[in-house]
Amino acid sequence: MSDALSATRVPLFSGRRVLVVGDVMLDRYVWGDVSRISPEAPVQVVRVDRKSYTLGGAGNVAANLAALGLDVQCLGVRGKDEDGRLLAEKFDEIGAKAHLVYEPMRPTTAKTRVMGRGQQLIRLDEEDAGPLSAEVQDALLRQVERSLPECGAVIVSDYAKGVFAGNLAQRIINVGAEVGVPVLVDPKGADWTRYQGAFCITPNTGEFQRVAQFDPRDDSDLGERASTAIHAFSLSWLLVTRGERGMSLFGRGGEALHVPTQAREVFDVSGAGDTVIATLAAGVAAGLSMEDSARLANAAAGVVVGKVGTQPVTRAELEEALALDEGGCAYKIRTREAAMEAVQGWKRQGENVVFTNGCFDLLHVGHITLLHKAAELGDRLVVGLNSDASVRRLKGETRPILPEAERASLLAALQDVDMVVIFDEDTPLELLNALKPDILVKGGDYVRETVVGHQEVESWGGRVELISLVDGKSTSSIIDRLRG
């Protein structure tokens, strides 16, 4: 990894602007429980608990850019229907500017996924993949021309839903070349002539195989095939995403960059391609080299496959992923939002989550014993750590002895600890409500009724466990001995 990119040097993307043009769609999720087979037909019955809506296709690309902190504009088409209204609302929610042109008699592209116990059971598609009218294509191109000069990159997100059935992609690439703004393409289909002259194309192995006609089981000539494609379609770069093999970046001359994937828990690969091209374009817009932008995109891909459904990756999650790739234990220190996602993932796997909290100032054998016994109660141990400001309010201006970053690092280095989350409140109640652990652990100097959060934990089916303390071991006693 170059000096330009590390866990502590992920670019600040605020103020960078990227334009997304493509097939926007609404992703609808119907969540429920499956407990029986229908008496009417041999199909599962899903008892619906809730419904959720997210941006899909080019909209998901825009959502990933917005989550990273970029200024985003998205261009596409929508119908005059309820799905189109929901689509526009979702763009407003993420703070992205959407210019969605109405196409007469065309429905908003929507995908409905029915989910049972976290698994996708069926998908229903509503779409019209026919070409756009000349008038709508011209309207989109005019908006591209107005927006392009202020952008650091443009993404063409082709889902074969009609936006690029004509020559719109080629016209956008030509306009980008005229003003010197790189155009990156997430392709669809075997005809890449409509992407001629693009700055970069980002196919997966299957998509590239259809164009380059090679055996995907034997990648010995992948570099040669990539070089041929680069010259045939006048590309500057080609990034092939290769699943468990990571990514391979090819340019005009020079050696290819092969970025290996990092071991991750894979829940859902849908939307991973959107995350890759969004993060790649974000890196380009922020001034990173293509090599470092590819590394950033690879880290983002490793994060997004650990989520269910089309969900964006945040800058904080990227920092954590890069910290994990660099080694060490910094990846265990999570923000509250990232911790919530991780805990939800663990629970989907049926793992029991244990939570304890404290100041953990001057880590000692009493702390270690409590944490070890807490970890034995479940599958994952989360430690809530009082921030420096919180410790000062609780224990006075002379505390803590060690700052929160050092205290968090010491806890993260322990094998028993799976995650550390710093909280700024006087009690961990807000953090408990966010994470909803299965088991809440405190020291034996408490009784159940005095444990903050015991009512909340028990309300969602959890329990409180009290662990005996090691006699005579406390931070205060260590401080007194040092002073003596």
> d(Cα 168, Cα 266) in Å, to the nearest integer?
35
Compute the C-alpha angle 473/479/483, nearest 5°.
135
- Give the CA distances from residue 250 to residues 74, 108, 188, 235, in Å, rounded to whole numbers and listed in that order: 28, 36, 19, 10
Q: Which amino acid is at 235?
A: L
274 has catalytic annotation: yes
Residue 188 main-chain phi, psi, to 5 deg: -145, 135
| Beta-carbon contacts of residue 254 (< 8 Å; ≥ 6 apart) | none
197: tokens are 């002259």
> d(Cα 207, Cα 117) in Å, to the nearest integer?
31
Side-chain half-sphere of 468: how many Cα atoms within 13 Å?
2
Considering the candidates 274, 325, 361, 438, report the single residue annotated as catalytic: 274
- Give the CA distances from residue 391 to residues 400, 408, 430, 431, in Å, rounded to whole numbers and listed in that order: 6, 13, 16, 16
- H or E segment to which residue 411 belongs: helix 404-412
What number of other Cβ atoms are within 10 A of residue 478's Cβ?
15
Contact 210, 190 (CB under 8 A): yes
Q: Which of 79, 73, 135, 64 is nearest to 109 (CA)?
A: 79
Contact 295, 282 (CB under 8 A): no
CA torsion through residues 222, 228, 231, 235, sign? negative
Q: Which amino acid is at 343?
A: V
Q: How are beta strands 247-251 and 237-241 bridged, if at all?
A: antiparallel
Extended strands (E) in 158-271: 183-186, 200-201, 237-241, 247-251, 257-259
* Residues designated catalytic: 274
